[in-house]
């Protein structure tokens, strides 16, 4: 099928917005820590930790190649359908309520699975041991591109499968060598170890107290979790209690209860409690409790920084940001929904020339209430001729097929009308302008696309767009 070589009409200089945002001011948040990812064939599930202390943090931004590729208000981001056998390096920054961005985290690099190269059981999961005292140590590890189901042993004591990527171990003997081994579950028992480290506890006194008992949740909110527990069963004297989330101290208290704050919605935690003596030595830890904060943010922000660019007399492009994770966005013209899209950008076509539009954007948060609407934006299309073609009929995608090792072909077709060309969009991006009734696109496997089609007349004016055609491209699965 022949592609027209004429480019899309140049964007008009006119750009309108809800106003120029004031420069962000205020203290700089701490950089996120322990960025890691679980890598699969179709994407990389990122997770990180926001260190305690420092200025308040409202949201996070995931960066790749100098660009912001995800905004979220929790400490994880599933980067889905990013292409099979593609390498990605991410960093994450924290953002304060006034928009001040932290320095970036240390980077994480992952390559989605190559067909025929499924992750092996012996793939390393490097360990780091830190915060070693006379009675305790902390350990963290990377998930990598295999199953995150990992089990930990310390000097032969099996702690079983540990969720997350870190653990605090107490009740250790002073001035003693310890070996820490990590293994993947359901792998060959003859070669189970994928992470190994050794350390020695500091000299000091032994904490003779038994572990606290009956750790339980008393309250859960989007930014906090309340905990309670019982003292050791042997009745030993307790000076304080230390509450850990994985390997990290999050609270100390003289009473058997605590509220852990400064958390983020829809985030899993792994709490344990240790009893401390007067010198601060830790007992063995309680059993693990793994609650999550509530899934919905209490006060999601509205979309902001909405801008509109006049493309032609029939077309506007809208862009915006949302410092949260939305499953989709709805664009309203007055009270009428005129577009629903999955990315923070939309192209509105088939508009009348010199027509005024009052536009707002609402984000749909998966499983939660919608965000408030953005501030209204009033924009007028460019002047031009009044005629507009009708939206194309019959636009659909046939079954995509695998093309070679990493690519896929997506056949698209529609019902043509005489004298019209057709413009294809993937989200808000123009794929190309075509004559005829069909085109086959070569894309990477394991990608998600949302195609729309418009008709284009001789004046360069566009019809309204068709409804979206969603495509996830196939790929060769690893054995």
pLDDT, one tens digit per residue, over 399-416 is 999 998 899 999 999 999
Amino acid 206: pLDDT? 79
Q: Is 53 or 426 the better-scoring residue by pLDDT? A: 426
Amino acid 20: pLDDT? 40
Of 361, 382, 393, the residue nearest 464 (C-alpha): 393
Q: What is the mean pLDDT of residues 218-230?
A: 97
246 shares a domain with 136: yes
CATH number at residue 314: 2.60.40.10
Q: What is the mean pLDDT of residues 251-256?
A: 96
148 shares a domain with 94: no
Q: Give yes or no for residue 171 having a pLDDT over 50.
A: yes
pTM of the model: 0.89
Q: Is 25 or 474 the better-scoring residue by pLDDT? A: 474
Q: Is 5 or 416 the better-scoring residue by pLDDT? A: 416
Q: What is the mean pLDDT of residues 310-318?
A: 94
pLDDT > 70 in the chain, percent:
90
Banded model confidence at residue 11, pLDDT cuts 50, 70, 90: very low
Q: Give yes or no for residue 21 having a pLDDT over 50.
A: no
Domain around 47? 33-111
Banded model confidence at residue 79, pLDDT cuts 50, 70, 90: very high
In whole angstroms, give the CA distance from residue 288 to residue 102: 32
Q: Give yes or no for residue 6 having a pLDDT over 50.
A: no
First-residue to last-residue Cα distance in the chain? 36
Cβ-proximal residues to 231 (8 Å cutoff; 6+ apart), any chain: 212, 213, 238, 256, 275
Of 70, 116, 114, the residue nearest 92 (C-alpha): 70
Q: Give yes or no for residue 156 having a pLDDT over 70.
A: yes
Structural domain total, the chain: 4
Q: Give yes or no for residue 5 having a pLDDT over 70.
A: no
94 shares a domain with 153: no
Of 324, 352, 380, which marks where a domain is finished? 380
DSSP characters for 45-97?
Answer: EEEEEPPSSSS---EEEEEETTEEEEEESSSEEEEESB-TT-EEEEEEEEE-T
Banded model confidence at residue 148, pLDDT cuts 50, 70, 90: low
The pLDDT tens digits for 334-359 are 999 999 999 999 999 999 999 999 99
321 shares a domain with 181: no
142 shares a domain with 90: no
Q: Alpha carbon of 325 to those of 202, 263, 381: distances in Å?
A: 44, 16, 30
The pLDDT tens digits for 186-205 are 766 655 688 899 999 999 98
Q: Would residue 336 count as lying in a domain?
A: yes
Q: Would residue 374 count as lying in a domain?
A: yes
190 shares a domain with 148: yes
Q: Is 120 or 331 the better-scoring residue by pLDDT? A: 331
Amino acid 191: pLDDT? 59
Least confident window among 71-85, 112-126, 190-204: 112-126
Amino acid 10: pLDDT? 35
Mean model confidence pLDDT for the chain: 89
322 shares a domain with 181: no
Banded model confidence at residue 299, pLDDT cuts 50, 70, 90: confident
Of 380, 414, 444, which marks where a domain is finished? 380
135 shares a domain with 246: yes
321 shares a domain with 427: no
Of 404, 401, 424, the residue nearest 413 (C-alpha): 424
Amino acid 23: pLDDT? 54
266 shares a domain with 221: yes
Kind plus residue range of the DSSP H or E element containing 132: none
Q: What is the mean pLDDT of residues 129-134?
A: 96
In whole angstroms, give the CA distance from residue 20 to residue 255: 50
The pLDDT tens digits for 238-248 are 899 999 999 99
Q: Give yes or no for residue 150 having a pLDDT over 90.
A: no
Amino acid 116: pLDDT? 60
């Amino acid at each position: 099928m022949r592609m027209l070589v004429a480019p899309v009409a140049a964007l008009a200089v006119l750009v309108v917005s809800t106003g120029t945002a004031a420069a962000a001011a205020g203290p700089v948040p701490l950089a996120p820590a322990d960025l890691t990812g679980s890598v699969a064939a179709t994407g990389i599930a990122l997770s990180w930790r926001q260190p305690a202390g420092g200025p308040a943090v409202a949201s996070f931004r995931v960066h790749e190649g100098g660009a912001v590729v995800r905004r979220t208000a929790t400490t994880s981001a599933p980067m889905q359908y990013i292409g099979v056998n593609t390498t990605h390096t991410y960093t994450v920054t924290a953002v304060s309520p006034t928009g001040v961005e932290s320095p970036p985290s240390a980077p994480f690099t992952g390559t989605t699975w190559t067909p025929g190269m499924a992750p092996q059981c012996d793939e390393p999961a490097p360990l780091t041991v830190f915060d070693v005292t006379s009675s305790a140590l902390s350990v963290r590890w990377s998930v990598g591109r295999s199953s995150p189901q990992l089990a930990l042993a310390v000097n032969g004591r099996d702690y079983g499968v540990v969720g997350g990527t870190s653990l605090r171990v107490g009740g250790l003997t002073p001035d003693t060598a310890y070996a820490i081994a990590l293994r993947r579950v359901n792998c060959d028992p003859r070669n189970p170890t994928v992470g190994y480290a050794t350390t020695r506890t500091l000299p000091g006194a032994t904490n003779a107290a038994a572990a606290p008992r009956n750790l339980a949740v008393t309250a859960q909110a989007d930014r906090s979790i309340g905990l309670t527990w019982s003292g050791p069963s042997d009745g030993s004297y307790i000076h304080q209690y230390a509450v850990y989330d994985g390997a990290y101290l999050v609270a100390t208290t003289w009473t058997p209860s605590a509220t852990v704050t400064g958390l983020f919605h829809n985030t899993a935690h792994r709490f344990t409690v240790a009893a401390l003596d007067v010198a601060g030595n830790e007992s063995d830890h309680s059993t693990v409790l793994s609650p999550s904060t509530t899934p919905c943010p209490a006060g999601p922000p509205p979309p902001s920084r909405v801008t509109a660019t006049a493309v032609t007399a029939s077309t506007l492009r809208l862009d915006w940001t949302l410092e949260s994770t939305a499953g989709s966005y709805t664009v309203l013209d007055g009270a009428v929904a005129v577009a629903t899209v999955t990315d923070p950008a939309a192209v509105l076509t088939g508009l009348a020339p010199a027509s005024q539009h009052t536009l707002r954007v609402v984000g749909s948060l998966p499983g939660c209430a919608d965000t408030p609407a953005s501030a209204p934006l009033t924009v007028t299309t460019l002047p031009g001729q009044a005629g507009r073609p009708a939206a194309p009929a019959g636009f659909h995608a046939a079954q995509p097929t695998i093309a070679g090792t990493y690519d896929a072909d997506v056949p698209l077709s529609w019902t043509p009308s005489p004298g019209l060309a057709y413009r294809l969009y993937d989200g808000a991006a123009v794929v190309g302008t075509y004559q005829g009734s069909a085109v086959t696109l070569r894309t990477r496997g394991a990608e998600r696309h949302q195609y729309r089609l418009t008709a284009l007349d001789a004046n360069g004016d566009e019809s309204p767009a068709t409804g979206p055609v969603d495509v996830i491209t196939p790929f060769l699965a690893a054995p």
